[in-house]
Copies of this chain bind each other. A is one copy, B any other.
């Protein structure tokens, strides 16, 4: 399944979900990813200052991966003027 990450809270939830799917404890994930157990707890809670390298290591340990996707895939194939004309909400 795919999960979009817009906040670190989303990231934490995705990690926790995946970890629970694998029926791993935080301690088990921490050991496999080479990080501290309390750190896993904080990241699952949405810690914003967690280092990206460790986060990627955790995803690797979980058998998941990170993807970067452009928002607005076909932006150059559609009529931008029309888009902006009809734009009406945040």
Contact = CB atoms under 8 A, between A and B. Distances in A.
The number of times this chain is found in the oligomer is: 2
B53 A49 contact: yes
Interface string A66-78: 1111111101000
Contacts of A35: none
Binding site secondary structure of chain A: mixed
Interface residues of A, number: 34
Contacts of A64: 68-71
Interface in A37-67: 47-53, 55-56, 59-60, 63-67
B52 A11 contact: yes
Interface string A1-25: 1111111100100100010000000
